[in-house]
Structure 1
Amino acid sequence: MGKLSLSGLALWLLCSAAYAQETPADFAVQVPLAVSGAGPWYRLELPLAVQLRARQADLSDVRVFSAAGEAQAYALSRQPAQRSESRHVADVKWFPLYAADTHEALPGVVMKSTSEGTLLEIRPSTPQAQQVLRGWVLDASAIKAPLQQLSLDWSREQEGFQRFSIEASDDLQHWTPWGDGQVARLSFADERVEQHDVNLPGRSARYLRLVWQGQAAPQLTSAKLVSATSSSLPMPLVWSQPLAGTRLKAGEYSWQLPTGLNIERLRVALNQPNTLAPVTLSGRRDSQQAWQPLSNGLLYRLAQNGQDVVQDELPLPGQVVTELKLQVDERGGGLGVEAPALRFAVRATQLVFLARGEPPFTLALGNASVKAANLPLTTLIPDYSAERFKTLGQAKVAGEVVVKTAAVAAAPEAGADWKKLGLWAVLLLGVAALGGMAYSLLRKPQAKP
C-alpha cells in the first residue's frame, strides 16, 4: 500500500506541476486598473504605449489578474474589418456653381429638384454671379447607402492641385461640413502623377457641394461616388509617438519598431517646405528575411495660395512587421540627410474580461513564452451582441505602469527552468514508484491451485 500511495502522490504532483497557474510575477509589466459601471464584464481600450510592452505581436501574453492573483477570463477585440461590406460605384450628375470672384465664400444660387429629390437645375441668384466657376453640386439622391469615397476627373489642360471644401445636404437648404478634399494632376520626370479619390465620412446624403478655395474650379469630366453598406464599423486607428530612423544611404531610410505590429498607416514628417518625394515602402519581420514591398505613393508638402498642401501618409496592408524601409526617388529633391521621423497607426484593441474575485485588478503582459489564453467574445459573453458590447462596464489604467528590472524580468525564465527540472524529477519519481510496484508484484509467490 505504501508503494501504491507513493505512485498516486507522484502522479498527482506531476499533473499539478504540468498545469501550474500563471501569476502576475510571470510577466515583466503590470498595469493597475480601475473599473466602473455595470459588471461583471468590463472592457478596456488598451493604450498603444501599453501594447508596445507586449512580447508577442498578437498580444498572446496579455492577462488580467484579481487582487488575489487569480487569472480572469478575457477576450480581445482587435480585428480591423469585422464587417460584411457591399460596395457600389455610381456615376452622378454635376451642376456648376458660379460666383462673382474666387474670394466669395458661398455662391448665391437657386436650386430646383423634383419631389423624389432628383436635382433639376442650379442657376445664379444674380447675373453677376456667372463670372467665375467656383464649384459643383453633385446629385447623389439615387444612392441610398452611406457614401465612402468621391472620385473626380477634370479637364486635362488643368494641372496642379485642386483643393475644395465638401458639404452635404438632404434639402439643398441646410449644409453640413464634411471636411476638405484634395485631388491632383502633376507632371514629374516625364511621368504623370494623378490623384483622383477623396475619402468621405461614410454617411448618407442626397447632395454634395464642392467649393474650391481661393481659386476657380476646373471643368469636371467625370464624378463617381462609392457607397457601401456594412454590418459594423472597424475599430479606430491609434497613432504612435514619432519614431526616429536611420539613413542607410542616399534616398534610403529604415526604422526599427518596438515590437511586431499590424501597421495600417504611416505618417512621414515632411519638415521642409516644397518637398516632393515619390516613395516605395518595404517591411520585414526580422533581419534574416528579405524585404517585402508594402506600399508606394507620392509624399509632398507644397505651398499653394498661401498655405501648405500636405500629403504625408501611406496606407499599409496591416501585416505584422518589425522593420520598415523607405526608398525615395531623389529626382524630386529627396527628404534630406537625416531620416525623417515616422509615426505609425494600428487598430485600437479592446480587452473584455469577466471579473471574478476582489479588485483592484491588474493588467499583466511581457512574457515571450506563454500561450494565448483569450476566449472568443461570443464565448466570454453568451448573449453577445454589438448593442450589448456598448453597455459593458468600463476599465481604465489607474496608475503607473510597473516594469520589472532586468534581473527580476529574467526571473520567470529561470523559474521556468527550475519547473522543468522539478517536473522531470517528479516524473522519474513516479516511474520509479511504478517500477517498484511491478517488482513487488513479480516477487509475490503465486497461489497454489
Structure 2
Amino acid sequence: MSQKLNLVWLGIAMGLALTVSAQETRAQETPADFATQVPLAVSGEGPWYRLELPLAAQLSARQADLSDVRVFNAVGAPQAYALSQASAQADDNRTLTDVKWFPLYDSADATEHAPNVRVQANANGTLVQVQPSTELEVGEEALRGWLLDASAIKAPLQQLILDWTSERDGFQRFSIEASDDLQHWQSWGEGQLARLTFADERVEQHEVSLPGQSARYLRLLWDTPQSAPTLTSAQLQSVRSLPLPLVWSHALDGSSVKAGEYTWQLPRVLNVERVQVELSQPNSLAPVILSGRRDSSLPWQPLNNGLLYRLTQSGEDVVQNQLQLPGQAVQQLKLTVDERGGGLGAQAPTLKFAVRATQLVFLARGPGPFRLALGNATVKAASLPLSTLIPDYSAAKLATLGQASVDGGASEPPMVSTVPVSEGIDWKKFGLWAVLLLGVLFLAAMAFSLLRKPPANT
C-alpha cells in the first residue's frame, strides 16, 4: 500500500513540476511574441538610455497604456525599463496667478517696434510704475500694448489668460515678448484673442499658449497702433515641471452623415490632448462643440467648445484651428458646427490629433544592437518606476542619460511586422494547458488504478 501511495505522490509531483515549468516557459518573453519590432540606435553615456517614442510606434501597441512595450538586446534578452507618461493636465502641477499689468503708451505717429518707457521697480524686481520716456501731450498718446509683471512666479509659464472691456469686440492680435531685465527681449510668438456677437450669442476666446519657459516680464504689443483694448484681468498659468511635448498625427479623413456634424475614427483608444481641424476655405467662421467616446456603444461626451476661424485681415490669414482637450481616452471624435456661421462644407475636413509624448528609459544589458518591440494584447506590464530603475534618480540626472532613437533617428519609421500576435484566443496557451490537463488526468487515472488493484498474494 505504501508503494502505491508513493506512486500517487510521484504523479502529483510530476504534474506540479510540469505546471511550473510551463508557467516559467510562458513567462520568458521573446521578440517573436510581439507583432512589431524596430531597431534602436544609442548614443552618449550608458548604461541607461532614454527614448522618446514616436507616435507611429505608440500606435503599434495593442494596449492603450503601452503595457506591451519591450526592449530586447541582440540575443533576445529583455531589458529592464521604465515609462514616463506625465500629462500636461495634472492639476497639482499647475498654478494660476493673477498678475499686474501696466499700459504702454507712445505717440500716435510713432514707428518704433516698441514704445520707450521709464520703469520703476522695487528691490525684488516688482514693477511699481511704467511711464513713457518722453512727455506726451493729451490727445497725442496711443495705447500700444501692456507690460505684465511675472516676477513673483518662479516656474515655467504655460498659458496667458486675458480679459478686456466689452467696448472693443472682434479679434485681437498681438506679439508676445519676454525679458528678465526689461532691456533684452525675446520673441515668444503671437497671441490671438476674440470676442464676437454671433446669432445673439457671445463667442469668446481668452487663452493664449506660451512656450513653457520662465520670464520675469512679458510685453504684449498690438499689431495696429491704438487697437489695444483696455485690460480688466491678466492671469498666467505656470507649471512646476514641464510636461513632455505633444506629438502630432498625420491628417485623418472624416465622415459626415448629417449637415454640421463630422466624425473621425482614431487608430485606437488614445489620450488626446489637442486637435487641429483643416480650414481650407478663406473667411471661415465656425462655433463648434467637440465630443468624444471610446466606442460606438457609448454616448458622446462633450470635451470642449470654441471658435474656429480662418479670416483675411490686412492681406494676411488669421487662423485659429485648434481645440484643447482634457486628455481623456477616446477613439471616436465628433465635431458639431453651428451652421449659422456658414459651416465647414458638406465634406468632412481632415483632422490631426496630438497626444503627450511618452519617454522610455531602459538599462542596457548584454550585447547590442537593441530592438524596440510592441504589439501583444495579452502580456502583462513589465515597466519599473524610474526611481527603481535608476537608484539615484533625479530630474537633473535624467537629462544627462544617453539617448536612443528609433531606426537611427527616423521620427516616423516603417513598422516591421514579425510573427502576428492574435488578439483573440491565445491558442498557444490554450494548447499548453490542455496537454498539461490531459497529463494530470492520465496520472490520476494511473494512480486510481493502482489503488484499486488488489494486493498480490504472498
Regarding TM over 0.5, the answer is yes
Alpha carbons of structure 1 residues 42 and 152: separation in structure 2 relative to 1, 3 Å: closer
Q: Deviations over 1:78-123 (max 9, x none)?
A: 1214784362432414133213437542223444444554332312
* Alignment partner, residue 70 of structure 1: 77
Q: CA deviation at 1:48?
A: 0.4
* Alignment partner, residue 95 of structure 1: 103
Q: Which amino acid is 1:92 matched to?
A: K
Q: Which amino acid is 1:351 matched to?
A: L
* Alignment partner, residue 433 of structure 1: 443
Q: Which amino acid is 1:366 matched to?
A: G
Determine whether 1:394 maps to 2:399.
no
* Alignment partner, residue 352 of structure 1: 361
* Alignment partner, residue 31 of structure 1: 38
Alpha carbons of structure 1 residues 444 and 99: separation in structure 2 relative to 1, 3 Å: farther
Q: Is the 2:180–2:216 Cα contact (8 Å) retained in structure 1?
A: yes
Q: CA deviation at 1:59?
A: 1.2
* Alignment partner, residue 113 of structure 2: 105
Identify the match of residue 296 of structure 2 among 267, 284, 287.
Answer: 287
Alpha carbons of structure 1 residues 347 and 112: separation in structure 2 relative to 1, 3 Å: same
Alpha carbons of structure 1 residues 384 and 66: separation in structure 2 relative to 1, 3 Å: same
* Alignment partner, residue 134 of structure 1: 144
Provide the rounded CA distance (Å) in 1 between the counterparts of 2:269 and 2:445. 49
Alpha carbons of structure 1 residues 196 and 418: separation in structure 2 relative to 1, 3 Å: closer
* Alignment partner, residue 403 of structure 1: 416
Alpha carbons of structure 1 residues 413 and 89: separation in structure 2 relative to 1, 3 Å: closer
Q: CA deviation at 1:317?
A: 1.3
Provide the rounded CA distance (Å) in 1 between the counterparts of 2:317 and 2:442. 80
Q: Is the 2:203–2:287 Cα contact (8 Å) retained in structure 1?
A: no
* Alignment partner, residue 379 of structure 2: 370
Alpha carbons of structure 1 residues 123 and 324: separation in structure 2 relative to 1, 3 Å: same
Q: CA deviation at 1:34?
A: 2.0
Determine whether 1:253 maps to 2:262.
yes
Alpha carbons of structure 1 residues 40 and 168: separation in structure 2 relative to 1, 3 Å: closer
* Alignment partner, residue 3 of structure 2: none
Q: Is the 1:98–1:131 Cα contact (8 Å) retained in structure 2?
A: yes
Identify the match of residue 327 of structure 1 among 336, 339, 350.
Answer: 336
Q: Which amino acid is 1:240 matched to?
A: S
Provide the rounded CA distance (Å) in 2 between the counterparts of 1:445 and 1:371. 51
Alpha carbons of structure 1 residues 62 and 440: separation in structure 2 relative to 1, 3 Å: same
Q: Is the 2:86–2:243 Cα contact (8 Å) retained in structure 1?
A: yes
Provide the rounded CA distance (Å) in 1 between the counterparts of 2:390 and 2:169. 56
SS in 1 for 2:83: strand
Q: Deviations over 1:186-232 (max 9, x none)?
A: 111111222233333344444322211134233414232335351x2
Alpha carbons of structure 1 residues 275 and 197: separation in structure 2 relative to 1, 3 Å: same
Q: Is the 1:83–1:234 Cα contact (8 Å) retained in structure 2?
A: no
Which deviates the most, 300-309 or 30-39? 30-39
Q: Which amino acid is 2:61 matched to?
A: A
Q: CA deviation at 1:413?
A: 6.5
SS in 1 for 2:311: strand
Normalised by the size of structure 2, how large is the TM-score?
Answer: 0.87
Give the ranges of 4+ consecutive aligned residues of structure 1 lying more than 6 Å apart after TM superposition.
411-414
* Alignment partner, residue 242 of structure 2: 233
* Alignment partner, residue 432 of structure 2: 422
Q: Is the 2:37–2:416 Cα contact (8 Å) retained in structure 1?
A: yes
Q: Which amino acid is 1:211 matched to?
A: L
SS in 2 for 1:264: strand
Q: Which amino acid is 1:253 matched to?
A: Y
Q: Is the 1:95–1:138 Cα contact (8 Å) retained in structure 2?
A: no
* Alignment partner, residue 163 of structure 1: 173
SS in 1 for 2:420: helix
The alignment covers a number of residue pairs equal to: 444
Amino-acid identity (%):
57
Q: Is the 1:276–1:298 Cα contact (8 Å) retained in structure 2?
A: yes
Alpha carbons of structure 1 residues 37 and 154: separation in structure 2 relative to 1, 3 Å: closer
SS in 2 for 1:49: helix
Q: CA deviation at 1:167?
A: 1.8
Normalised by the size of structure 1, how large is the TM-score?
Answer: 0.89
Q: Which amino acid is 2:15 matched to?
A: A
Determine whether 1:22 maps to 2:29.
yes
Q: Is the 2:212–2:242 Cα contact (8 Å) retained in structure 1?
A: no
Report the aligned-residue RMSD. 3.0
Q: Which amino acid is 1:425 matched to?
A: V
Alpha carbons of structure 1 residues 235 and 205: separation in structure 2 relative to 1, 3 Å: closer
Q: Deviations over 1:414-434 (max 9, x none)?
A: 8x3144223222233124324
Provide the rounded CA distance (Å) in 1 between the counterparts of 2:181 and 2:257. 56
Provide the rounded CA distance (Å) in 2 between the counterparts of 1:85 and 1:196. 21
Provide the rounded CA distance (Å) in 2 between the counterparts of 1:39 and 1:221. 52
Identify the match of residue 271 of structure 1 among 269, 276, 280.
Answer: 280
Q: Which amino acid is 2:79 matched to?
A: Q
Which deviates the most, 139-148 or 375-384? 139-148
Structure 2 gap segments, 5+ residues each = 1-5
Structure 1 gap segments, 5+ residues each = none
Alpha carbons of structure 1 residues 428 and 142: separation in structure 2 relative to 1, 3 Å: closer
Q: Which amino acid is 2:416 matched to?
A: V
Q: CA deviation at 1:46?
A: 0.8
Alpha carbons of structure 1 residues 401 and 197: separation in structure 2 relative to 1, 3 Å: closer
Q: Which amino acid is 1:76 matched to?
A: L
* Alignment partner, residue 211 of structure 1: 221
